[in-house]
């Protein structure tokens, strides 16, 4: 656990008042009951550790309605798509999530991306976690709905985009608004247009959420997941690459099931996958894989070689 108090950057009070007032006026709803407890409630998304409480920078301003459950997604940012390897798509994950109880789970923006080792294994950057009080939740939601542009956004900004560029997806469930906003090629704009102002607002919100802890200067804890997604695919053995023994006596390669390729989004990843417990991931006997791992080569009980990858699951994710 981090030592000592931590503090978010102070947002100008007048700006916060204006943003929250605008969002509250546009999206009226019943006021939540403020919570000032620094300890995470039961059912916290943190497994095996308490979320670090971030001291409040001031009293609650305004009252933007939001759910308060430990698995309720209130604000989320995720990026994906474009031309990438299937294994990468299967391990794609939200880079920022605010849950209703104030717990945030996020990935730090790397200055250097993880590189594969001699065996092609890549250890992903772990998620971090902390806890906001109700005043901080209100300020962040006011920013997202106001300066961040989500309050007035339509659901799609894909038309006329770049086919091989990733999409940025925002989810907002607050202030009477429940929608997902998909923006193609955010930050890669090469020309003006009617959405220039909106895209600039989305970029501002994405920049804040993608660097929420300001390069690690704000204390947080490593997110310890209770469940992970394991992705398995048959492959040819590569000369010189280490092949690990199959570590799960009770699990067979056939237990990894492919998702439905019907565009419904309900079947999980298309690649064969399985929900893994923390003990099953630990059976790999690898260190530094709290954020997941890609590129492992396993020798299955059937004698075949398999590529294996895993990433943590958040508490709201089914698989």
Instruction: Report yes or no: 38 and 54 within 8 Å, Cβ to Cβ.
Output: no
Q: What is the pTM of this model?
A: 0.78
End-to-end Cα separation, the chain, in angstroms: 28
Domain spans, the chain: 13-210, 225-312
Say whether pLDDT at 185 is over 80.
yes
The mean pLDDT value for 168-197 works out to 90
Burial 269-306 (b: 16+ CB within 10 A, else e): bebbbbebeeebbeebeeeebbbbbbbbbbebeeeeeb
Q: What is the pLDDT of residues 55-88, one digit of tens each?
A: 655 444 469 999 999 999 999 999 986 445 555 5
Instruction: Give me the chain's average pLDDT, please.
Output: 80
Q: What is the pLDDT of residues 291-318, one digit of tens each?
A: 999 999 999 999 999 999 999 999 999 8
How far apart are the C-alpha atoms of 107 and 121, rounded to whole Å?
20
- 156-157/273-277 β-pairing: unpaired
How far apart are the C-alpha atoms of 308 and 280, rounded to whole Å?
13
Check residue 307 and give its pLDDT.
Answer: 94
The mean pLDDT value for 13-32 works out to 36
- 293-299/122-123 β-pairing: antiparallel
How far apart are the C-alpha atoms of 203 and 132, rounded to whole Å?
23
Q: Which of 128, 83, 81, 82 is nearest to 225 (CA)?
A: 128
The mean pLDDT value for 37-65 works out to 52
Q: What is the pLDDT of residues 248-299, one digit of tens each?
A: 999 999 999 998 654 444 445 788 999 999 999 999 999 999 999 999 999 9
Bridge-partner residues for 61, per DSSP? Answer: none
Mean pLDDT check: name the lowest of 170-174, 191-195, 243-247, 263-267.
263-267
Q: What is the pLDDT of residues 82-110, one digit of tens each?
A: 445 555 555 678 999 999 999 999 998 77
Task: Give me the half-sphere count of Cα atoms (radius 13 Å) on the Cβ side of residue 58.
Answer: 14
Q: Report helix angle 13-26 to 134-145, nearest 10.
A: 70
The percent of residues above 90 in pLDDT, for the chain, comes to 57
Check residue 214 and give its pLDDT.
Answer: 87
């Amino acid at each position: 656990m981090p030592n000592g108090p931590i503090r978010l950057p102070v947002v100008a009070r007048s700006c916060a008042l204006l943003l929250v007032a605008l969002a509250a006026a546009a999206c009226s709803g019943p006021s939540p009951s403020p919570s000032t407890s620094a300890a995470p409630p039961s059912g916290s998304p943190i497994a095996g550790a308490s979320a670090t409480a971030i001291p409040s920078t001031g009293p609650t301003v305004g009252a933007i309605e939001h759910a308060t459950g430990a698995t309720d997604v209130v604000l989320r940012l995720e990026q994906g798509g474009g031309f990438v390897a299937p294994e990468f798509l299967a391990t794609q994950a939200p880079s920022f999530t605010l849950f209703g109880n104030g717990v945030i789970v996020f990935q730090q923006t790397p200055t250097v991306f993880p590189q594969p080792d001699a065996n092609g294994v890549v250890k992903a950057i772990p998620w971090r976690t902390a806890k906001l009080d109700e005043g901080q939740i209100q300020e962040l939601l006011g920013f997202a709905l106001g300066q961040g542009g989500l309050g007035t956004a339509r659901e799609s900004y894909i038309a006329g985009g770049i086919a091989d560029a990733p999409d940025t997806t925002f989810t907002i469930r607050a202030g009477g608004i429940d929608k997902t906003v998909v923006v193609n090629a955010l930050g890669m704009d090469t020309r003006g247009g009617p959405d220039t102002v909106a895209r600039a607002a989305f970029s501002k919100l994405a920049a804040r959420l993608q660097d929420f802890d300001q390069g690690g200067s704000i204390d947080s804890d490593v997110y310890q997941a209770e469940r992970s997604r394991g992705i398995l695919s048959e492959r040819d053995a590569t000369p010189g690459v280490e092949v690990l023994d199959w570590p799960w006596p009770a699990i067979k390669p056939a237990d990894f099931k492919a998702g439905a390729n019907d565009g419904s989004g309900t079947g999980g990843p298309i690649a064969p996958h399985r929900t893994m417990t923390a003990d099953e991931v630990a059976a790999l006997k690898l260190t530094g894989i709290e954020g997941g791992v890609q590129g492992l080569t396993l020798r299955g009980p059937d004698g075949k070689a398999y590529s294996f990858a895993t990433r943590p699951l958040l508490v709201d994710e089914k698989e």
